[in-house]
């Protein structure tokens, strides 16, 4: 195994280049805006269809989930609700949330509606959405979200909720676990104060 | 020779665009992945699909960046492709002497590979799809139990480390009709970033940061598949915008009704 570790280190050194700085001037969107992903059409728990890029204009939290997830995804939604409560206590305003399903085959609008009701969240402030057209994998990639279907129908995945500023730049992330990250809340407050 | 002329005419009619890639139908089936699920070997059901016979080449990628200038080096947003994107190419529209037309394109990010496949109504394979086809050799659908075959693959990888991949098509196709899966290069899969060993990982960014050599090895049910372990370690070390000199890709398509 030792030789394998050495090989792995070599692979890291030779294969992992540094992330490039922005090279070309911004046109309509900043170079590092998540809204630069190819067109992605979504439908939320109320059946409303909208383009992901149309959400530009206000800061929001964006994450992904799948509806049949038993443990982490319900926790993700409850944690986001608690972040909203913390914001309110600290003088902030409600922040819009978008969670996109990476299991559109099973997460239809009826299921999204049911989940929203179970967690007492309402659109448009808190949207659960499914991809209708386009590649949600591109969204996952820019947010640092990874998922892989497992043989039993569940997914191996991580949880990342990203704070995007009004232009779609990623300002902070949280794993949305039970403990609320004060730095993440502060990043939202800072963004709201700057507007 | 009217039959021969008719044959040529039919070929012409079937060639919709220049650079149309060869895909071959892969029958569905079951196999045991070398990757563990919850620390145990997992039997995976694969639906029928179609796979590119060979990895995407520099010539094909040049065709793509001409058609989609947003993906040219110098034009692409750094969000989707890092500084090493197409680094071996002489300039954005000239692969040049270090990137011959029949060599696999490498130095392409996962985002770029996804976009290329979407451009030919295809997608990146899942890890399981790739692994299922790569388990075959020229005569067997699953040759992974053959130590000599495994050693040959490993030898080829070690011998070529530090070089750009050689030309495609230098070895016989496997029993599915697919070439160059194991020896030539690492290939992006659509779900590569989620190949970390623990399901439902809750830590932000858990993919790459947990993909230490021990971590990746622990995720393997079949410890004899050393070349696959190296492949998983190399892939999971990358961010999706990274472009690496030995990482390229091939695309797959869903089959109607599968």
Place of tokens 């299921």: A111
pLDDT at A69: 82
- Token output for A104: 């559109």
The alpha carbon of residue A5 is apart from the nearest alpha carbon of chain B, in Å, by 6
Listed by start position, the domains of chain B span 3-254
Which residue in the set A17, A21, A175 is minimally distant from B202, CB to CB?
A175
In the prediction, which pLDDT does A6 show?
42
| Arithmetic mean of pLDDT over chain A | 86
Q: Which domain holds residue A162?
A: 32-194
The pLDDT > 90 percentage for chain A reads: 71
> d(Cα B146, Cα B140) in Å, to the nearest integer?
10
Among the residue ranges A66-75, A81-90, A185-194, B231-240, the one predicted with the least confidence is A66-75
Question: Total domain count for chain A?
Answer: 1
Interface test with A, best of B45, B77, B130, B240 (most A CBs within 10 A): B77
Determine whether the interchain pair B199/A19 forms a contact, defined as Cβ–Cβ distance below 8 Å. Answer: no
Could you tell me which residues come within 8 angstroms of residue B91 by beta carbon, excluding any fewer than 6 positions away?
Answer: B73
Residue of chain A with shortest Cα separation from B77: A31
Q: Which residue of A has its CA nearest to B198?
A: A156
| Closest CB from A24, A38, A72 relative to B200 | A72
Domain-embedded: residue A11: no
The CA distance from A142 to the nearest CA of chain B, in Å, is 7
Tell me whether B195 touches chain A (CB under 8 Å). Answer: yes
**Model pLDDT for residues B166-177, shown as the tens digit of each residue:** 999 899 999 999
User: Per 3-state DSSP, what percentage of chain A is helix, strand, and coil (rounded to 5)?
Assistant: 35, 25, 40
Q: Which of A71, A155, A158 has its CB closest to that of B207?
A: A158
Question: What are the tens digits of pLDDT across the range B63-118?
Answer: 999 999 999 999 999 999 999 999 999 999 999 999 999 999 999 999 999 999 99
Pick one of 3.30.110, 3.30.200, 3.40.50, 3.90.1580 as the CATH number of B3-254: 3.90.1580
Inter-residue contact B143 to B191 (CB < 8 Å): no
Q: Is B114 on the interface with A (CB under 8 A)?
A: yes
pLDDT of residue B223: 77
pTM, rounded to two decimals: 0.84
**Using 50, 70 and 90 to split pLDDT, how confident is the model at A28?**
confident
Domain-embedded: residue A122? yes
Q: What is the DSSP pairing of strand A126-133 with strand A41-44? A: antiparallel
- Which of A24, A39, A137 should one mutate to test binding to chain B, selecting the residue with the greatest count of B CBs within 10 A? A137
Q: How far is CA B96 from CA A125, B11, B167, in A?
A: 52, 31, 15
> What DSSP designation does A173 have?
E
Q: Give every CB contact of residue B204 below 8 A, 6+ residues apart in sequence.
A: A144, A158, A159, A160, A173, A174, A175
Helix, strand or coil, per DSSP, at residue B110: helix
Is residue A26 over pLDDT 70? no
CATH code, domain carrying A179:
3.40.30.10
Rounded to an integer, what distance in angstroms lies between the CA atom of residue A193 and that of residue A119? 29
The reported pLDDT for the residue numbered B154 is 93
Cβ–Cβ below 8 Å for A146 and B194: yes
For residues B258 and B256, what is the distance between their CA atoms, to the nearest angstrom? 6
Distance separating alpha carbons of residues B123 and A107, to the nearest angstrom: 21
Domain membership flag for residue A123: yes
Q: Is there a domain that residue A1 lies in? A: no
Does residue A41 carry a pLDDT above 60? Answer: yes
Is the confidence metric ipTM above 0.90 for this complex?
no
> End-to-end alpha-carbon separation of chain A, Å?
54
Which residue in B204, B206, B231, B246 has the most chain A C-beta atoms within 10 A of its own C-beta, making it the best mutation to test that interface? B204
Nearest residue in chain B measured CA to CA from A170: B79
Q: How far is A72 from chain B (nearest CA, A)?
A: 7
What whole-number distance in Å separates Cα of residue B26 and Cα of residue A160?
35
A118 compared with B10, residue with greater pLDDT: A118
The closest alpha carbon to B173, from B138, B130, B134, belongs to B138
Q: Which residue has the higher pLDDT, A20 or B57?
A: B57
Is the CB of B214 inside 8 Å of chain A's CB atoms?
yes
State which residue of chain A sits closest to B75, comparing Cα positions.
Answer: A24
Subunit contact A160:B77, Cβ cutoff 8 A: no
Q: Per the domain annotation, does A2 fall within a domain?
A: no
Selecting from B82, B161, B200 the residue whose C-beta is nearest the C-beta of A17 gives B82
Q: Which of these, A190, A180, A191, A193, lies nearest to A85 by C-alpha position?
A: A180
Question: Which of B 46-105 lie inside 8 A of A, CB atoms?
Answer: 74-75, 77-84
- Cβ distance B191 to A32 less than 8 Å, yes or no, reads no
Q: Does any domain span residue A62? A: yes
Per-residue model confidence (pLDDT) at position B59:
97
Q: For residue A170, is it within any domain? A: yes
pLDDT higher than 50, residue B217:
no
* B202, B204, B237 member nearest A16 (Cβ): B237
Instruction: Check A5 against B214: CB less than 8 A apart.
Output: yes
Q: Which of A13, A14, A19, A20 is most worth mutating to test chain B (most B CB atoms within 10 A of its CB)?
A: A20
Q: Select from A19, A32, A138 the Cβ nearest to the Cβ of B82.
A: A19
Residue B37 touches chain A, beta carbons under 8 Å: yes
Cβ of A19 within 8 Å of Cβ of B43? The answer is no
Q: Where are the beta strands (DSSP E) in B208-248?
A: 247-248
Token pair, residue B51, equals 């796979």
Closest approach of A176 to chain B, Cα-based (Å):
8
* One-character DSSP codes across B20-71: PPPEEEE--EEEEEEEEETTEEEEEEE--EEEESSPPBHHHHHHHHHH-GGG
* pLDDT, position B201: 40
Could you tell me which chain A residue has the CA closest to the CA of B234?
Answer: A11
């Amino acid at each position: 195994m030792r030789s394998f570790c050495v090989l792995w280190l070599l692979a890291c050194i030779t294969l992992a280049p540094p992330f490039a700085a922005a090279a070309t001037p911004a046109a309509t969107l900043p170079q590092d805006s998540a809204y630069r992903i190819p067109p992605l059409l979504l439908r939320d728990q109320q059946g409303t269809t909208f383009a992901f890029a149309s959400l530009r204009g206000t800061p929001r939290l964006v994450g992904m989930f799948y509806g049949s997830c038993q443990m982490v995804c319900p926790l993700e939604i409850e944690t986001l609700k608690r972040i909203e409560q913390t914001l309110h206590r600290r003088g902030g305003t409600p922040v819009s949330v978008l969670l996109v399903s990476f299991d559109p085959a099973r997460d239809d609008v009826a299921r999204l509606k049911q989940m929203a009701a179970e967690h007492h969240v309402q659109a448009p402030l808190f949207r659960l959405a499914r991809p209708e057209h386009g590649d949600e994998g591109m969204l996952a990639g820019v947010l640092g979200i990874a998922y892989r279907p497992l043989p039993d129908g569940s997914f191996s995945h991580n949880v990342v909720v990203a704070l995007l500023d009004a232009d779609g730049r990623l300002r902070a992330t949280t794993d949305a676990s039970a403990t609320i990250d004060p730095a993440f809340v502060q990043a939202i407050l800072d963004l709201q104060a700057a507007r | 020779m009217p039959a021969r002329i008719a044959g040529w005419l039919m070929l012409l009619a079937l060639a919709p665009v220049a650079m149309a890639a060869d895909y071959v139908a892969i029958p569905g089936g079951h196999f045991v992945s070398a990757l563990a699920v919850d620390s145990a070997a997992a039997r995976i059901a694969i639906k029928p699909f179609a796979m590119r016979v060979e990895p995407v080449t520099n010539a094909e990628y040049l065709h793509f960046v001409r058609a989609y200038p947003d993906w040219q080096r110098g034009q692409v947003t750094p969000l989707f492709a890092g500084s090493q994107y197409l680094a071996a190419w002489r300039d954005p529209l000239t692969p040049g002497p270090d990137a011959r037309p029949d060599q696999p394109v490498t130095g392409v990010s996962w985002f770029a590979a996804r976009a290329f496949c979407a451009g030919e109504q295809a997608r990146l394979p899942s890890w399981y799809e790739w692994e299922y086809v790569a388990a075959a050799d020229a005569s067997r659908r699953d040759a992974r139990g053959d130590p000599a075959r495994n050693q040959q693959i490993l030898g080829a990888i070690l011998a070529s480390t530090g070089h750009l991949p050689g030309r495609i098509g230098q070895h016989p196709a496997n029993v599915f009709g697919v070439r160059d899966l194991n020896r030539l290069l690492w290939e992006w899969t659509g779900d590569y970033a989620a190949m970390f060993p623990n399901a439902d990982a809750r830590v932000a960014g858990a993919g790459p940061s947990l993909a230490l050599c021990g971590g990746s090895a622990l995720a393997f049910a079949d410890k004899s598949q050393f070349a696959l372990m190296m492949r998983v370690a190399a892939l999971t070390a990358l961010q999706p915008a990274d472009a690496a000199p030995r990482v390229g890709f091939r695309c797959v398509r869903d089959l109607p009704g599968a």
